[in-house]
Amino acid sequence: MKHDPQSPYYSELRRLSFSPGWARSEPSMWPEPKPKFKPAVWRFAAAKRALDASHNMVPQEQTERRNLIMVNPIEGNSYATTRHLVAAYQCVMAGDTARTHRHSAAALRLVLAGKPGTYTVVNGARIDMAAGDVVLTPAWSWHGHANESSETSYWIDFLDIPFIQLSEAMFFEPHPSGRLEPITAQGKSTMRIPSDDALGPGHEAKTVEIAKDVMPTIGLHLIRQPKGGHVAMPKGTTNNIYAVVSGKARISAEGGFAEVLDRGDVAAMPCWHAHAIEAVEDAVVFRVTDEPILAKLGLVRTAN
Ligand SMILES: [Fe+2]
């Protein structure tokens, strides 16, 4: 019998919330990944201009929302940068504080500019922030920010919110104080990882994983390459976001994507795109991935 969706038989199936497996318009499995997300790039200079111009648009009590989310430009997407992660440029203006809160999403930030007096408070511990630092706020840790310097601070936030949304295990809670939580400790913190310290001195090619196993959903690597050096990344199931910490790097991928990124620029590189990172000048590139999620599920795989 020919499939007639208007027939009483199929109408009855729909009424019962059944979909006949033999008459589906789209397959539910396919031979290999066909990512919906695209390689894409965002520029810090453009974000900085727009954030600086946002001065009168964001109420003081929403300082934590003075950010620009890097939305992957694909049909139907209004939030995620890659399948499981989101990145955003955030600024905290001189004298501002962002209220303490916590959430089941894990977060971290790469500081692009922060004069002394810029800090995050994580579970009561003051963590000073300076350019090149990676500052971690694992899932459900209290965190808020302050900028007591006289200049605007900028950083890039990375979170696993798209994955948490997908899992529906979302929780969010504002701190009972309704403001920045009181500081109960300061000094060195394992939640602050200056990229220079992690890489050590020198200019030679080096890749280090940082904060390994601290966040169950997000993997972090710092990639240093001298001018002319390059790293080839295989076609695999991992989704990547790259941000340039220092110098200048060219990111190219199969399919024709090729962009030169300056300090603070960001590129999304979805799964199943072989790609390369090439140092146009001495460069440090931060790689943020969902590899820990996939690894736990046995889904890390490369082509061939
Ligand atoms: Fe947060």
pLDDT digits (tens, 9 = 90+) for 163-219: 999 999 999 999 999 999 999 999 999 999 999 999 999 999 999 999 999 999 999
Alpha helices in 142-267 (DSSP H): 161-167, 195-199
Distance 297 CA to ligand 1 centre (A): 26
Query: Distance between CA atoms of 53 and 265, rounded to whole angstroms?
Result: 19
On the question of pLDDT at 280 being above 70, the answer is yes
Distance 301 CA to ligand 1 centre (A): 31
Task: For residue range 15-25, list pLDDT tens digits in order.
Answer: 999 999 998 88
Residue 2 pLDDT? 67
Distance 224 CA to ligand 1 centre (A): 29
The confidence band for 64, taking pLDDT boundaries of 50, 70 and 90, is confident
Distance 107 CA to ligand 1 centre (A): 7
Distance 160 CA to ligand 1 centre (A): 11
On the question of pLDDT at 261 being above 90, the answer is yes
Distance 75 CA to ligand 1 centre (A): 27
For residues 60-87, average pLDDT: 92
Over pLDDT 90: what percentage of the chain? 91
Distance 255 CA to ligand 1 centre (A): 35
Distance 161 CA to ligand 1 centre (A): 10
On the question of pLDDT at 1 being above 60, the answer is no
Residue 21 pLDDT? 93
Distance 69 CA to ligand 1 centre (A): 14
Distance 138 CA to ligand 1 centre (A): 10
Distance 101 CA to ligand 1 centre (A): 6
Distance 271 CA to ligand 1 centre (A): 26
| Long-range CB contact pairs, 29-33, < 8 A, 24+ | 32/272, 32/303, 33/237, 33/271, 33/272
For residues 99-106, average pLDDT: 97
Reported pTM? 0.96
Residue 42 pLDDT? 98
On the question of pLDDT at 290 being above 80, the answer is yes
Using alpha carbons, select from 297, 301, 267, 300 the residue that is nearest to residue 283.
267
Query: Distance between CA atoms of 85 and 268, rounded to whole angstroms?
Result: 10
**Mean per-residue pLDDT of the chain:** 95
